[in-house]
Amino acid sequence: MSKAKPRKRHQLRPTTIEPHRTAAAGSVIIRQGDTHVLCTASIASEVPRWLLDPQTGEPKRGWVTAEYNMMPGSTPDRKRRGPDSRGTEIQRLIGRVLRAAVDLDKMPGVAITCDCDVMLADGGTRTASITGAFVALSQAIAAARKAGLIKGNPIKGPVAAVSVGVVDGQIYTDLDYPLDVRAEVDMNVAMNHQGQFIEVQGTGEQGVFSREQLDELLDAATKGIRQLMKVQRKALS
Ligand code: UDP
């Protein structure tokens, strides 16, 4: 289903992050080739009870969480609505990575939910969700600061993610679905702005991979993520 023009192995698919009007405090669409995800970030008016100090009843810290969903029309075979184990795993990944971007102690009593709804799926939906959701989260935090809900800046720095893989023995960055199904190694990498890893999920889908290939995959991911952070900066400027 990919209509992307032939690109170099380490070239990202054309990527944009644009504002999209919803009622949420943060709201963007990230388009990475034919993978399109609507990412919203909503500020909760009530924080979960477990965020409260049991002694004082006051919130000691804030919370950031994520939900991920593929819309029914996002794939050629209609995706059934409702939770599944893949989606549950992916949304936990997105939440962990986003929490690495913020100091929760600096946003007491504020809970932000980042919803990632895949409108069009062509590989790399979880990584695009992370990259887009960071921008939506930043918008929501800016709105919360403006409203006086958060004092100071809880954002430590951007986080973004990309997929890399080995196809026909060669390293590729930002796999679309046709590459993804052929990949001998499939890896999702999330990093912060200091080039530190937050999460690496790698699988030898059709075999094994060497330490040398692992290093090459991580180098490719690092370069791809640097590019994605430029797109994030532009969206937030
Ligand atoms: N996919 C699909 N239906 C599904 C799950 C996945 O069509 O129920 C396709 C979709 O294009 C997705 C790709 O397979 O982007 C790769 O899925 P994977 O589970 O590896 O996650 P992703 O790469 O999207 O993070």
Residues in contact with ligand 1 by the CB-under-6-Å rule are 75, 79, 86, 121-126, 163, 177, 180
Ranges of the chain whose pLDDT falls below 50: 4
- Ligand 1 center–CA 2 separation, angstroms: 13
Per-residue pLDDT, 7: 86
Per-residue pLDDT, 1: 53
- Ligand 1 center–CA 172 separation, angstroms: 17
| CA of 121, closest atom in ligand 1 | 11
Instruction: Determine which residue's CA is closest to atom 8 belonging to ligand 1.
Output: 79
Model-level ipTM above the cut of 0.90: yes
- Ligand 1 center–CA 46 separation, angstroms: 34
Per-residue pLDDT, 78: 98
Per-residue pLDDT, 4: 47
Cα-to-chain-centroid distance, residue 191: 10
Query: What structural domains and CATH numbers belong to the chain?
Result: 15-236 (3.30.230.70)
Per-residue buried b or exposed e for 177-212, using 16+ beta carbons within 10 Å of the residue's own CB: bebbebbbbbbbbbbbbeeeebbbebeebeeebeee
Per-residue pLDDT, 48: 78
CA–CA distance, 64 with 104 (Å, rounded to integer)? 8
Cβ atoms of residues 71 and 118 within 8 Å: yes
CA–CA distance, 126 with 91 (Å, rounded to integer)? 8
